[in-house]
Amino acid sequence: MTIASLKQKSTYAELGGQLRYALYCIFHPADGFWCICRDKKASVASATIILIAFSIISVLQLTLSNFQFVLVPIEYFNAIITFLSTPVMIILWSVSNWSFTTLMNGKGKLSHIYIATIYAFTPMIIANTVGIVLSHLLTYDEGALYHSMQMIALIWTVMLLLVSMMQIHDYTMAKAVGSSILGIAGMGFILFLFMLFFSLISDAVMYFISIYNEIIFRMY
């Protein structure tokens, strides 16, 4: 999507169609996710918009929901961390899944994995949005309805994610499950490497700072 294309109304019409296509995918996952990479029914731009919406709703769910249904201690709540956590996890998942599926004859590209993963989270976006409203209409004793809706959305999302991996990589369900497990393990390994890298950088910086302070102390 170029700057020139942003000035064309057809671009926004196409983008709107791609956003609506997320609803088609959750009700027709096999056909929907197949067409994502074969017929280009979705794009990185539309997926990123959905991802930003999901991140915003995640923050709003913790700040606007009735306190009875907020399970996270609000005194430890950080809006920036909450907003960034979902994009970071999805990017890690996409990179990790792509790394393993490339070795397992997967046909999906990195962009396909990114788009399909975000589109699979559509039920969670809907459930979290509806949950904000329901939390102010239900009593604590009626909370089972609220939590049931959240659980159904979570299970729905997981199933959509598995089907999406089947379709874009042309896998069987068993191979999609196996590659997903490896992808999750890969995410942990990538996070470990990042933590190790920043720990080494931090130690190196502190080492040079201590040397500098020692030199300054001996000079003066």
**DSSP calls for 160-212:** HHHHHHHHHHT--HHHHHHHHHHHHHHHHHHHHHHHHHHHHHHHHHHHHHHHH
Residue 4 has what pLDDT? 46
Model pTM score: 0.84
Q: How confident is the model at residue 97 (pLDDT cuts 50, 70, 90)?
A: very high
Residue 147 has what pLDDT? 85
Between 201 and 218, whose confidence is greater? 201
Tell me the mean pLDDT in the region 114-125: 94
Q: How would DSSP label each residue in 64-100?
A: HS-GGG--S-GGG--HHHHHHHHHHHHHHHHHHHHHH
Residue 1 has what pLDDT? 54
Between 65 and 91, whose confidence is greater? 91
pLDDT 10s digits, 163-202: 999 999 989 999 999 999 999 999 999 889 888 888 888 8
Cα(7)–Cα(128) distance, integer angstroms: 33
pLDDT 10s digits, 71-86: 776 667 788 888 999 9
Tell me the mean pLDDT in the region 130-152: 85
Query: In percent, how much of the chain has pLDDT > 70?
Result: 92
